[in-house]
Amino acid sequence: MSDVEGLSYRSAGVDLDAADRAKGALKELVARTRDENTLSEMGLFGGLYAVPRGVGDPVLVSSADGVGTKLKIAFLAGRHDTVGRDLVNHCVNDILVQGATPLFFLDYLATGHLEEGVVTEVVKGVAQACLENGCALLGGETAEMPDFYSRGEYDLAGFIVGIVDREDILDGSRVRAGDVLIGLGSTGLHTNGYSLARKIVFDVLGLHVGDLIPGLERTVQDALLAVHRSYLPSLRKTLVAGRVHGLAHITGGGIPGNLPRALGPGQGARVHTGSWEVPPLFQALQNAGKVATEEMFRVFNMGVGMIVISSRDHADAVANELAAAGERSWILGEVVEGAGVELV
């Protein structure tokens, strides 16, 4: 009777040796993000982080998000070094609007077949953005799930924890009718609206990732993989100065869907859409897809990635602080009594 070779995890589609090699390659990337409050190293069951001293009444702020179908562009282009930065920056912005600065970050990467080089590129982007935002990459999970994801595809999610002094929380209570809305530019689509953008680019225009977008001097992959930027470096000093009444991160839902989240009860906003020039990428998508303007503003950020709410008296000081940080800003509207966002 001859021996029959038994099944193994590898024969079922999971390569533990490859996973170990990938994790080994990530240790240095993760270690570079450590700071004085990081109390653990990669490999433990949980990450340890000491709450920083010097915050009078510390409140922890957390958020979780993903990159969405922007990942489809990364798969097609074979470029995986940007989506990790997208993920971290998106999460940083989401807690920044409540006045918080990041402490640590965790990532979750799930794939059907673990490709060591791809995993390293993705996590390299995560680590780079953590360094840029001053937060520790405290831990994460890489899951190999054969038959769950198509070969060459993966999903990516992130979890962030930040800190804010209780008296500095931005929750809409400081906002008053008459406050001005100050716009900060986006670097492209950021991480929202990609299902519609992909339909226009690939189905309507029939383009490939390496093709130039008509009317733009950029390829599909360069335009659609532009990194979702972080607004923390530009806003850090302005937040400390106490001149910010509210912040709105313009993500899915656009300005109409996100600006109300920064306002108080009984407050609305009037946005002057002629106060800035909508970037050519959005114009190209709208023209090619024959998308109604109202729908464009509901789906995309339209060139506005963050909105600062401040008193009219402080608007010039805020603009000067932003300019000193290298940020271009402009007044795009005002807070009014009522409800909802009026685009005029």
Per-residue pLDDT tens digits for 97-112: 999 999 999 999 999 8
Q: Please say whether the dihedral angle defined by the alpha carbons of residues 142, 144, 148 and 154, taken in this order, is positive or negative.
A: positive
Q: Parse the chain into domains and list their residue ranges.
A: 16-168, 180-343
Per cent of the chain over pLDDT 90 is: 74
Superfamily of domain 16-168: PurM-like, N-terminal domain (3.30.1330.10)
Which three-class secondary structure state does DSSP give residue 66? strand
Task: Say yes or no: do domains 16-168 and 180-343 share a fold.
Answer: no
- Per-residue pLDDT tens digits for 273-331: 999 999 999 999 999 999 999 999 999 999 999 999 999 999 999 999 999 999 999 99
Least confident of 36-40, 128-132, 156-160: 36-40
**Residue 72's pLDDT is what?**
95
Q: Is the pLDDT of residue 17 over 70?
A: no
Q: How far is CA 253 from the centre of its chain?
A: 14
Q: What is the percent of the chain with per-residue pLDDT over 70, rounded to a whole number?
A: 92
Rounded mean pLDDT of the chain? 91
Q: Which two tokens stand for residue 64?
A: 């979780």
Whole-number Å distance between alpha carbons of 28 and 182: 40
Residue with tokens 């009317």: 215
Q: Which residue has the tokens 């716009």?
A: 183
Predicted pLDDT of residue 21: 58
pLDDT tens column, 142-151: 888 888 888 8
Q: Average pLDDT for residues 78-87, to the nearest whole number?
A: 95
Is the alpha carbon torsion for 133, 137, 138, 143 positive or negative?
Answer: positive
Res 15 pLDDT > 70? no
**Does domain 180-343 correspond to CATH entry 3.90.650.10?**
yes
The count of C-alpha atoms lying within 13 angstroms of the C-alpha of 248, restricted to the half-sphere facing its C-beta, is 29
pLDDT of 270 over the 90 cut: yes
Q: What is the pLDDT of residue 10?
A: 63
Strands 329-337 and 267-271: antiparallel
Q: What average pLDDT does range 153-163 have in this prediction? A: 95
Per-residue pLDDT tens over the stretch 251-261: 999 999 999 99
Contact 224, 273 (CB under 8 A): no
- The DSSP secondary-structure symbol of 17 reads H
What is the pLDDT at residue 46? Answer: 84
pLDDT digits (tens, 9 = 90+) for 19-40: 565 566 677 777 778 888 888 7
